[in-house]
Amino acid sequence: MNTGEASQPFLTTSDGTVTTYGDLRDRVARRAAALRAAGVAPGDRVLCQIAKSPEGLYLYLATVWAGAVFVPLNTAYTASELEYFLSDAAPALLILDETTASARPKAEAAKVKVATSADLAATDLPPLPPVARKPDDLAAILYTSGTTGRSKGAMLTHDNLVSNARALKECWRFGPQDVLIHALPIFHTHGLFVATNVTLISGAQMLFLPAFDLTAIANLLPQATTIMGVPTFYSRMIGDPRFDKAAFAHMRLVISGSAPLLADTHAAFAEQTGHAILERYGMTETNMITSNPYDGARKAGTVGLPLPGVQVRIAKPDAAGIGGIEVKGPNVTPGYWQNPDKTAESFTPDGFFITGDLGQLDEAGYVSIVGREKDLVISGGFNIYPKEIEVQIDALPGVNESAVFGLPHPDLGEVVAAAVVLNPGATLTEAELLAMIAPHLARFKHPRSIRFLDALPRNTMGKVQKAELRKMAIMAAAN
């Protein structure tokens, strides 16, 4: 992948420290040598759970440079969640930092070697030449929660990542003149691949924030040309006088993804800033699938048109043209890590990936997502599979059964709620329940409201009616 000239800035942190493309190549090649010295061979998995920092990007690129497979982990995962990733990915190395150091005993118990990001940065070895890889070789595995409660590792090849970065660069007209505000986490597709790979392949630069911060973003807008975010980023700007048309005068493109952007948010943002947000759609398994156009109508409430080289179809459309969204192209995963059954289930016989999203096409070919076949909650752009939480709640003493579902939320889009049925005579409180699941589930997965019921509503097939639970919870909150 060609990147910028050596003297050009690649990344600037909040304290003004600049990493040029020349610095980047040197640091990546040196970190790659450090990884090799730590025992990482081509094809090995490298797990990385560290706070967002430029070092995290160097380690991503160094892993790939060394021919290995990068496996980033959400820093909010608990040690007990990490235990599963250690056994499933069987990594040659786990990289931690001071914020995640408490995970070390779990790794040692699993006989996985640990290095800190500081140790790797301090290793003084000659740069490693890049290890040649084929397009179908793995570059990364990203874990996405599963409907069975177990996370699945989506395998991503070099070709998956490079083809998608090329398609997005072309579609969004990225070039060396671009300056991206990067305020997303870097353990997911959005911040790691969409934002970083598109910047790299364009020789562009980014203003790199440790986390989403409205004040910092307001200060950076005059130097930036573009921003990528989840809808919560933009709904938080609405009504804030710092984000007016003058503040956005230097920006050329505002991009949203990872969760539905309400048409009302689109309209209010355009009215306030003069920018029609460009919404796009993707998945961990497929990278980006569709995007609204750079030129031409950005239709609010739609996720736009298939990217160049990507085929999208609607399977088994009903009378209104609504059906399952299926995708084929160089962007799509070859499957789930060591999970041939799940892989087989996720593809049609003619090789289309089944997204689990429900959609329809308009007469111009724009895709709208109208629902989900999969049981998923998207909160502030984080995907949460109810099953994973239900498994934890159901295992608690005194619990008969539970159902976890999403409730609409003005800031995060959706938040997690739970309905719990206790065994006769059991006396579990909401606080006790939350305290007991805390060691097992990252904070963002904890239910924000819990209702104790005598029974869960079920249909005639015995399936829990989550739509009914959602209605009951909304009505209870209104009273």
How many whole angstroms from its chain centre is CA 145?
A: 11
Q: Is 257 in the site for ligand MCA (CB under 6 A)?
A: yes
Among 257, 359, 386, 406, binds ligand AMP (CB under 6 A): 257
Measured CA to CA in angstroms, residue 214 lies from 118, 398, 427 at distances of: 29, 43, 43
Note whether 384 and 378 are within 8 A (CB).
yes
Q: Which stretch binds ligand AMP (CB under 6 A): 21-29, 251-259, 401-409, 437-445?
A: 251-259
Note whether 364 and 354 are within 8 A (CB).
no
Taking the C-alpha atoms of residue 49 and residue 53, their distance in angstroms, rounded to an integer, is 11
Q: Collapsing DSSP states into helix, strand and coil, what is residue 329?
A: coil
Among 226, 232, 291, 346, binds ligand MCA (CB under 6 A): 232
Among 75, 226, 258, 265, binds ligand MCA (CB under 6 A): 258
From ligand MCA, ligand AMP, none, interface partner of 357 (C-beta below 5 to 8 A by class): ligand AMP
Taking the C-alpha atoms of residue 17 and residue 358, their distance in angstroms, rounded to an integer, is 44
Q: Is 230 in the site for ligand AMP (CB under 6 A)?
A: no
Q: Is 473 in the site for ligand AMP (CB under 6 A)?
A: no
From ligand AMP, ligand MCA, none, interface partner of 55 (C-beta below 5 to 8 A by class): none
In the complex, least distance from residue 465 CB atom to ligand AMP, rounded to whole angstroms: 21
| Number of residues located near ligand MCA, criterion CB under 6 A | 23
Token match 């040598």: residue?
A: 33
Q: Is 414 in the site for ligand AMP (CB under 6 A)?
A: no
Nearer to ligand MCA, 282 or 324 (CB): 282
Angle ∠(125,128,133) on CA atoms, nearest 5: 155
In the complex, least distance from residue 446 CB atom to ligand AMP, rounded to whole angstroms: 19
Q: Is 306 in the site for ligand MCA (CB under 6 A)?
A: no
CA dihedral 337, 342, 348, 354 (to 10 degrees): -90
Note whether 292 and 302 are within 8 A (CB).
yes
Q: Is 185 in the site for ligand MCA (CB under 6 A)?
A: yes
Q: Is 385 in the site for ligand MCA (CB under 6 A)?
A: no
Taking the C-alpha atoms of residue 69 and residue 156, their distance in angstroms, rounded to an integer, is 9
Q: Is 197 in the site for ligand AMP (CB under 6 A)?
A: no
Tokens of 86: 């250690």
Among 350, 443, 455, 460, binds ligand MCA (CB under 6 A): 443
Which residues, including other chains, have CB under 8 Å from residue 375's CB and lie 6 or more apart? 147, 385, 386, 387, 466
From ligand MCA, ligand AMP, none, interface partner of 444 (C-beta below 5 to 8 A by class): ligand MCA
Q: Which of residues 270-299 bind ligand AMP (CB under 6 A)?
A: 279, 281-284
Q: What is the contact surface with ligand AMP in residues (CB under 6 A)?
A: 144, 257-260, 279, 281-284, 303, 355, 357, 369, 372, 378, 383
